[in-house]
Amino acid sequence: PYSGPVELQDMQAVEQMFDVNVLGYQRMARAVLPAMRARRAGLIVNVSSQLGRMVVPFGGVYAATKFAVEAMSEQMAYELAPR
């Protein structure tokens, strides 16, 4: 249920994949950032995949989640750099 043509993906599986692979990273960041700001120190390391920068046949939804992790990580780096 986690690979195949994007148009045929089971929507529940897609939601589950985004919940774990994208929203999980955001939940963790939201949980740790207040303490990191208070200490004025910290490091967040998000582990992604090569599929966060390229696509392969029938891996579109998984790749989309990893592209999202890459984008969110880059955005957080810009937003948090001044701190």
Which residues have a catalytic role annotated?
62
> What angle do the packed helices 60-80 and 11-18 form, to 10 degrees?
30
> 3-state class of 80 per DSSP?
helix
Whole-number Å distance between alpha carbons of 68 and 37? 24
